[in-house]
Amino acid sequence: MTGPAPRIRFHDLGRDPGFAAGTLAGLVSGDNGALRIDDTTAGATGPASPRPIPPESGDQRGVSTSPVIETGFPAGEAVLSWHAVTPTATWLEAALRVRGADGCWSRWFVLGHWAGGDDFASGDIRRTTIDGQSDPAGRVLNDTFRAAQDRPFHAFQVRATLVRPAGSTAPVQLAALYAMVSAPPSDDLKPTSAFTLDKGLALDVPRFPQMIHAGCYPAFAGGGAAWCSPTATSMVLYYWGRKVGAEVLESIEAPQGDPHIIWAAQGVYDHGYEGTGNWAFNAAYAAGFGLRAFVTRLRSLAEAEAFIALGIPLVVSVSFTREELPQAGYDTDGHLLVISGFTGEGNVIVNDPGAASSGEVRRELDRAPFESAWLKGSAGITYVFHPPGVPLPPSPGEPNW
């Protein structure tokens, strides 16, 4: 790809600059570096939480606020992701604020209320984003903060709040917190990136079709076309050997098979926008299986090739019309699939969950229109899931992982 590369920067806030570089209120660091609520303090109580059944005692909260982080360029969007351990009746709030060129700070924008469980009767919240938040600096679009037009931001802070019922000692933890910021998307057409591998390479990613679940579980968006993200996420989880326990799956009705996809759809469902495609929620779900899991943007298929070369498949977000990517045979305004390899000619091998059977999942798509569908469709949004012991490729000079 010629011309200036898209400006993207990824921050692992638990490592760079580290939780201790910010401020902690009512939190302590455990032996593994994760933050937990300090059992020796009463903590801060707050208003009733977004639980269907709020605790009579109120909530105890612990808050981690990052230092001010300079973007290094005028940024237009931000996406957060995290790994939080949330026992029953505990939850996490992730929030962001930005500073413009005039030095003025925005409000705090909430980018997610997260809990891993769905035991509402016992105090679990309904995990949700809060769409519609806005001020002159920008607005929230489900899982993304977008700066107002002509008002990019130059610095930001992230705030994570752990919550549990007052008087509880439940070990809610924040194990990891990530922020990705990027320049405003550009409509400029860029040349297709050059193929960087010296041969074709295909990873043996399991093939799960989402369409066998069409019409299932209307309370969770009804399966089928709505479940591309949890199905793609599950393919990568199972590739790494991180499977849903058999004892859990026994209780799930799956007439067409693959009950683990139904479990995943329930586990990532966003009760705010009523869908399963929340990027941060899919990463948080994957992190619960012991993977390092985050959302970022990549700049090209050449960057994706570096992951494939190390055996790391990627989940990416694309959109296209039938005319733009005729090999796909459909059009979409937003779809998640897995990059699982490349042919010797540099075309893309994908596991596309938008199929009616496992035999139809693996596909080969021409490089140029696919790269365009990804970079134009979502500006390169990518889920990166890998075991902590599996190293990532060296990051670029302006690191986006």
Tally of helices (H runs) and strands (E runs) in the chain:
6, 22
Q: What is the dihedral of CA 35, 127, 45, 111, to 10 degrees?
A: 70
Return left, alpha or beta for 250; rule: phi > 0 is left, psi -120 to 50 is alpha, else beta. alpha
How far is it, in rounded angstroms, from Cα 382 to Cα 369?
Answer: 17
Contact predicate 387/292, CB 8 Å = yes
User: What does pLDDT average to over the chain?
Assistant: 94
Q: Are strands 348-351 and 362-365 parallel, antiparallel or unpaired?
A: antiparallel
**Bridging pattern class, strands 173-182 and 138-141:** unpaired
CB atoms < 10 A from the CB of 256, how many? 16
Q: DSSP characters for 159-181?
A: EEEEEEETT-----EEEEEEEEE
d(CA 313, CA 206): 11
Give the closest residue to 387 by CA, choosing from 286, 314, 290: 290
Which three-class secondary structure state does DSSP give residue 317?
Answer: strand
pLDDT confidence tier of residue 370, bands split at 50, 70 and 90: very high
Q: CA 391, CA 370: separation in Å to the nearest integer?
A: 27
Short-list 250, 242, 247, CA closest to 286:
242
Confidence of residue 45 (pLDDT cuts 50, 70, 90): low
Average of pLDDT values for 151-169?
96
Q: Say what the pLDDT of residue 117 is.
A: 95
How confident is the model at residue 269, as a pLDDT? Answer: 97
pLDDT range class, residue 43, cuts 50, 70, 90: low
- The two tokens of residue 330 are 């459909």
Query: Per the structure block, which two tokens stand in for 293?
Result: 């899991």
Listed range (17-26, 134-143, 304-313, 360-369) with the worst mean pLDDT: 17-26
Look up residue 352 and give its DSSP letter: -
User: Helix 301-309 to helix 367-378 angle, to the nearest 10 degrees?
Assistant: 110
- Of 95, 103, 81, nearest to 10 by C-alpha is 81
Higher-pLDDT residue of 57 and 112 is 112
Q: Examine residue 17 and say whether the peptide bond preceding it is cis (omega within 30 degrees of 0).
A: yes
pLDDT level of residue 359 (50, 70, 90 thresholds): very high
Tens-digit pLDDT profile for residues 233-242: 999 999 999 9
- Please state, in angstroms and rounded to a whole number, the distance separating the CA atoms of residues 213 and 288: 24
Bond into 393 cis (ω within 30): no
Q: Cα angle vertex 221, ends 235, 231, to 5°?
A: 5
How many residues can be counted in the chain? Answer: 401
pLDDT of residue 1 exceeding 70, the answer is no
What does the pLDDT average to over 221-241?
96
Residue 41: the pLDDT is: 79
Average pLDDT of span 219-229? 93
Residue 55 — pLDDT band, cuts 50, 70, 90?
confident
What is the reported pLDDT for 50? Answer: 76
Cβ atoms of 314 and 382 within 8 Å: the answer is yes
pLDDT at residue 232 tops 90:
yes
Would you state the pLDDT for residue 174? Answer: 98
Average pLDDT over residues 94-103: 97
What confidence tier does 44 reach under pLDDT thresholds 50, 70, 90? low
> Residue 210: helix, strand or coil by DSSP?
coil
Structure tokens at 288: 């619960």
Q: For residue 361, is pLDDT > 60?
A: yes
Is the predicted pLDDT of residue 51 greater than 80, yes or no? no
pLDDT tens string 250-289: 989 888 889 999 999 999 999 999 999 999 999 999 999 9
| DSSP secondary structure string for all residues of 116-136 | S---GGGT----B--TT-EET
List of domains in the chain: 8-182 (2.60.120), 201-386 (3.90.70.10)
Of residues 21, 149, 75, the one with CA closest to residue 297: 75
Residue 2: band (very low, low, confident or very high) from pLDDT cuts 50, 70, 90: very low
Q: pLDDT per residue over 72-96, tens digit each?
A: 999 999 999 999 999 999 999 999 9
Q: Nearest CA to 305 among 245, 345, 268, 247?
A: 345
State mean pLDDT over 348-375: 97
What is the token pair recorded at 85?
């351990």
42 pLDDT higher than 90: no
Nearest to 114 by CA among 122, 123, 126: 126
Q: Is the pLDDT of residue 32 over 80?
A: yes
- Mean pLDDT computed over 106-134: 95
pLDDT digits (tens, 9 = 90+) for 165-218: 999 999 999 999 999 999 987 777 678 999 999 999 999 999 999 999 998 889
d(CA 336, CA 319): 9
pLDDT reported for residue 28: 95
Please, what is the end-to-end C-alpha distance for the chain in angstroms?
19
Cα angle value 331/335/336 (rounded, 5°): 145
pTM value?
A: 0.95
- Could you give the 3-state DSSP secondary structure of residue 66? coil
Q: The tokens of 302 are what?
A: 């050449």
At position 164, the amino acid (one-letter code) is: R
Residue 381: pLDDT over 80:
yes
Q: What is the pLDDT of residue 231?
A: 98
Between CA 383 and CA 339 the distance in angstroms is 11
